[in-house]
């Protein structure tokens, strides 16, 4: 069962090397997203200001996660970990807000 150095390389990480073009494209998308979100905050969009800021931030985060952090090429387990973490955070938000948002409700 002695592994030669060569055989060890075959058990080495199967890595996808992301192209330079992809990295730079993501970078420009992130920079543009930053400018857009700043600009959107200066104009009055009524109730849409907050959701728009959240959506832009989420898109930026997703780009970083998928491409800079290589999740798009990662194992399914990695996807599960990422999704589960945000889901759990969602539980914290939803159930805590369930209290605060219903405190003012009168009993019928």
Partner 1 sequence: MTTATLHDVRLSGATTSRNYINDEYGALSWLLTKDHKRIAILYLLSISVLFVLGGFFAMMMRIELLTPAGDLLTSDTYNKFFTLHGVVMIFFFLIPAIPAVLGNFLLPIQLGAKDLAFPKINLLSWYLYMAAAIIGLVVIVTGGVDTGWTFYTPFSTQYSNTHVFGTTFAAFIAGFSSILTGLNFIVTIHRMRAPGLTWYRLPLFVWALYATSVVMLLATPVLAITLTMLMIERTIGVGFFDPSLGGDPLLYQHMFWFYSHPAVYIMILPAMGVASDVVAAFTRKKIFGYRFVAFSSLAIAFLGFLVWAHHMFVAGISVYSALIFAFLSFFVAVPSAIKVFNWTATLYRASVSWQTPMLYILGFIGLFTIGGVTGLFLASLGLDIHVTDTYFVVAHFHYVMVGGTVMAYLAGIHYWWPKITGRMYPEWWARLAALLVFVGFNLTFFPQFILGYLGMPRRYHAYAPEFQVLNVLSTAGASVLAVGYVLPIIYLVWSIWFGRPAGPNPWGAVGLEWTTSSPPPKENFHETPVVTWDAYDYPAMMKAMGETQNV
Partner 2 sequence: MSDIAAGNEHHHHHPFLQHHFEDLGQQHEASTLGMWMFLSTEILFFGGILCAYWIYRVMYPEAWALAAHQQNALYGGINTIVLIISSLTMALAVRAAQLGSRTWQLIMLFTTLIFGSIFLVVKGIEYSMHWHEGLFPGSHFTWHEHPALAQKVQLFMCFYWGMTGLHALHMVIGAGLLLWIIGRAWRNDFGPEYYAPVEIMGLYWHFVDIVWIFLFPFLYLIHGVHHG
Task: Determine phi and psi for 67, rounding to 5 degrees.
Answer: -105, -50
What is the C-alpha separation between 58 and 20, in angstroms, rounded? 23
Site residue total, partner 1 (CB under 8 A): 15
What is the C-alpha separation between 73 and 16, in angstroms, rounded? 7
What is the C-alpha separation between 35 and 57, in angstroms, rounded? 11
> Which of partner 2, partner 1, none interacts with 95 (beta carbon under 5 to 8 A by kind)?
partner 1
> Which of partner 2, partner 1, none interacts with 105 (beta carbon under 5 to 8 A by kind)?
partner 1
Site string for partner 1, 34-73 (x = CB under 8 A): ----------------------------------------
């Amino acid at each position: 069962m002695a592994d030669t150095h060569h055989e060890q390389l075959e058990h080495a990480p199967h890595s996808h090397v992301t192209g330079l073009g992809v990295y730079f494209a993501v970078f420009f998308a992130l920079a543009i997203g930053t400018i857009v979100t700043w600009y959107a905050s200066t104009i009055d969009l009524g109730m849409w200001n907050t959701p728009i800021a959240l959506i832009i931030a989420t898109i930026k985060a997703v780009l970083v996660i998928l491409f800079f952090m290589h999740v798009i090429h990662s194992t399914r387990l990695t996807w599960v970990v990422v999704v589960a973490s945000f889901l759990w955070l969602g539980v914290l938000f939803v159930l805590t807000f369930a209290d605060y948002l219903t405190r003012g409700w009168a009993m019928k």
